[in-house]
Amino acid sequence: MRVFWLTLTLLIMIVANPLAADPYRLPDFGSSADTVLSLADQRSLARAFMKSVRKALPVIEDPVLDDYIQSLGRDLAQQSGAVAGYRFFLINQPSVNAFAGPSGQIGVFAGLVLAAETESELAAVVAHEIAHVSQKHLMRSFESQKRMAVPATALLIAAALLGAQVDSQAGMAAMAGVQAIAIQNQINFTRDNEQEADRIGIDILAEAGFNPFAMPGFFESLGRSSRYYDNSAPEFLRTHPVTTSRIADALARAEQYGLRQRPDSLEFHLARANLRQRSYTGAQRAVEHFESTLASGRYRNALAERYGYALALLRAGRFELAREQAASLLKARPSQVEFIVLDASIDIEGGQPGRAIRNLKSAYGLRGDNWPIAQTYAEALLKTGQVKAALSMLEAFHRRRPSVTQIFGLLADAAGRSGAKAKTYGYRAEELYYQGDLEPAIRQLERAVRISGVDYHLASKLQARLDEMRVEESSENKKWSRGDD
């Protein structure tokens, strides 16, 4: 499988004028790169990019895993001076990889999480990607490529990822489709950007309380491990090797902060166990893996290993044994979100949704802003036909946390099953919009506003949202159809 250096280099290094080579000079924050695209244009590019990513790669939608990587990313992004606009997500592939896309879209592959021995190592790569965003490396590339239409630019970026992670011929074909072969030939490893991302990333890492030596240490350990690979070696080690000078520079930067020992969070171990059981195609193989590690004691965290075992048992349909494991985990940590959701999921899939609702109602009452609990609670209510209760709960949660865009699919489902057609179209429109499908989203809202008998407040809200999307679509069509700035 291809790994993160190739992909992140392709994604962020379409650069004509790299930064100066002074290893400790910060970039000019007043660069004209800031004015190349408006914030609205950057959001358009991000949506087009994510639409292509979702079509090409298996983005993980699990709310527990999503909540973990978002939380880790937010903690790190705060140290860069901004959190708004960043979106962190996991991809269910074994590549040791991560990338920074337009407008702070940061993808982390499951293989990277599993390869990280400590949470600081995982945080080091995420911090590196945040540094690429905060230093506007991608936006600087538009200083030379701004005449390319945004949909084509998004396709070029996604094609680089397609070529590295899915099918190289498909990726090159996509590039040819946007007449980008010449640009692709100019994409080279840009040492200055990578070294700057290392330096700024180490600053972010240390200021967030993680071990700053984790970045050079992790890169060095990946380099050492390459000696045991043949043709399946991670490609970034063949095409963009982590040099001794680069590691030395990173070590020098880390030494300015000194060693900081930070224990790994339980959530980190639980995420790794979850991804580990997902890495097995067959549920029974996952069960056998955890049975073996638990029997031999080959694990780093007992609770996490039993959690992975319970998830594997749930996948295999062995509900009673999975429930026993969940009960043991809840006894040890009764307020742990992962264990609450696990126990409820076993009940929902194992034919006891009523028990799940009772337990989740209590948990939601205590943690009404927690998305994994809210989603599982809504799913249990829908499972038992309590669609109006599910819709009411989801709408209350959305008012509390409007930034959780994953909610719109469930809202549309609940509204549809409760007979609220206008709301159904409205929520489906929002789901499509955040998936990057602006035109289908507009069609959904057009259906919504044509429905008669809708109360004035909802009708006005739907019409206003339709007007917003139409303006956005018109602006994009005018700007990008010209193919200029």
Residue type, 337: V
Q: Which long-range contacts (CB under 8 A, 24 or more apart) does 225-234 make?
A: 232/1, 234/1, 234/2, 234/3, 234/5, 234/96
b/e burial code for range 398-425 (CB count within 10 A of at least 16 → b): beeeeebeebbbbbbbbbbebebebbbb
Q: Can you tell me the distance from the alpha carbon of 437 to that of 442, in angstroms, rounded to the nearest whole number?
A: 9
If we measure between CA atoms, which residue out of 373, 326, 128 comes closest to residue 242? 128
Q: Can you tell me the distance from the alpha carbon of 474 to that of 459, in angstroms, rounded to the nearest whole number?
A: 22
Q: Where do we find the tokens 């408006």?
A: 38
Catalytic residue among 129, 196, 264, 338: 129
- Chain-centre distance for alpha carbon 338: 18
Residue 240 annotated in ligand binding: no
User: For residue 227, what is the DSSP state?
Assistant: G
143 catalytic? Reply is no
Catalytic residue among 121, 196, 198, 267: 198
Q: Where do we find the tokens 């193919």?
A: 483
DSSP output for 32-51: GGGGTS-HHHHHHHHHHHHH
Q: Bridge partners of 109?
A: 91
Residue 269 annotated in ligand binding: no
129 catalytic? Reply is yes
Residue 176 tokens, joined? 């040819």
- CA trace torsion 329, 331, 333, 334 (10° rounding): 110
Residue type, 24: Y
Half-sphere exposure at residue 120, Cβ-oriented, CA atoms within 13 angstroms:
24
Q: Can you tell me the distance from the alpha carbon of 244 to that of 237, in angstroms, rounded to the nearest whole number?
A: 13
DSSP alpha helices (H): ranges in 22-136?
A: 39-56, 63-77, 110-115, 119-134
b/e burial code for range 286-309 (CB count within 10 A of at least 16 → b): bbebbeebeeeeebebebbbbbbb
Catalytic (active-site) positions: 129, 198
The annotation places the binding site for Zn(2+) at: 128, 132, 194
Residue positions in the annotated binding site? Answer: 128, 132, 194
